[in-house]
């Protein structure tokens, strides 16, 4: 409530926690009226003092992919890229920048990567207006139990990539106000999601095997859904060999 009041957000979501060696980062997301607009992200080390994170840049995302290993839990910790990737460090030095990356920048990039890859919502939960803004669908009453068991009933809550490549015939059956996002059914690698029914089939739980620690839930026939991430912030690169 304090974060919502101080930053004048319409809503605040608890996003999750990234566990470091010496401490943990607790993450929250602030939302405005347009749900498709870039989200404001905040982190805290004690759940009392929250700091606003800057938006992720392409450079941050590229550098974060070079860094491997656990987070330290200290935002001011610096990764020396010349020890990790000599080529990336040389490119930075050529452009006049130091070959170091602060852990805070890695945190920003990791949250963005997780949200893009595995941040999901049920089909119909959000509606796109003719002007292009995205709002919560007031008529959404939850998926049926049959629909809730299908991967095609869930969408990535980020800019669509595969939707542009669909043929006109495939788009003919889509509702442009609801089907404006990418479905989970074509995610690569195949089998990167596990669907389970909990509490006697009253709750559907999806877990990502690519970003271990990401759990999404939905209570069929209700408006209740959400996801949370509790993990080390490391991508499971071995997944294709495990399936």
What does the pLDDT look like over 99-117, one tens digit per residue? 778 889 999 999 998 888 8
Encode pLDDT of 57-68 as tens digits.
888 888 888 888
Does residue 25 carry a pLDDT above 90? yes
Highest mean pLDDT among 55-59, 65-69, 75-79, 212-216: 212-216
Output the furthest CA–CA distance in the chain (Å, rounded): 59
For residues 99 and 190, what is the distance between their CA atoms, to the nearest angstrom? 36
Please compute Rg for the chain using Cα positions.
19
List the structure tokens of 228: 């949370």
Dist CA 120 CA 241 (whole Å): 24
147 exposed, middle or buried (CB, 10 Å; 0-12, 13-18, 19+)?
Answer: middle
CB 236 within 8 A of CB 212: yes
Q: Is the pLDDT of residue 229 over 90?
A: yes
Phi-psi label, residue 106: left if phi above 0, alpha if psi -120 to 50, beta otherwise: alpha
pLDDT higher than 70, residue 164: no
CA–CA distance, 102 with 79 (Å, rounded to integer): 6
What integer pLDDT is reported at residue 230 of this predicted model?
A: 94
pLDDT of residue 74: 87
State the pTM of this model: 0.83
Task: With H, G, I as helix, E, B as strand and everything else as coil, classify residue 123.
Answer: coil
Are 122 and 94 contacting, i.e. CB atoms less than 8 angstroms apart?
no
């Amino acid at each position: 409530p304090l974060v919502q009041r101080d930053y004048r957000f319409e809503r605040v979501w608890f996003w999750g926690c990234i566990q470091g060696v010496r401490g943990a980062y607790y993450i929250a997301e602030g939302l405005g009226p347009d749900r498709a607009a870039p989200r404001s992200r905040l982190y805290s080390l004690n759940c009392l003092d929250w700091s606003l994170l800057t938006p992720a840049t392409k450079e941050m995302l590229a550098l974060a992919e070079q860094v491997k290993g656990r987070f330290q839990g200290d935002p001011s910790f610096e990764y020396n890229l010349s020890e990790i990737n000599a080529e990336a460090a040389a490119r930075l030095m050529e452009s006049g920048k130091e070959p170091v990356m602060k852990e805070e920048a890695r945190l920003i990039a990791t949250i963005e990567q997780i949200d893009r890859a595995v941040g999901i919502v049920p089909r119909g939960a959000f509606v796109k207006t003719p002007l292009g803004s995205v709002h919560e669908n007031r008529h959404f009453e939850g998926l049926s139990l049959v629909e809730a068991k299908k991967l095609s009933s869930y969408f990535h809550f980020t800019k669509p990539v595969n939707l542009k490549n669909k043929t006109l015939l495939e788009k003919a059956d889509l509702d442009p106000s609801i089907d404006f996002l990418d479905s989970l059914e074509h995610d690569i690698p195949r089998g990167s999601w596990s669907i389970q029914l909990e509490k006697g089939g009253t709750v559907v739980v999806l877990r990502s095997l690519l970003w271990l620690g990401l759990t999404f839930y939905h209570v069929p026939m209700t408006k209740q859904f959400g996801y949370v991430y509790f993990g080390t912030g490391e991508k499971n690169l071995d997944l294709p060999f495990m399936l």
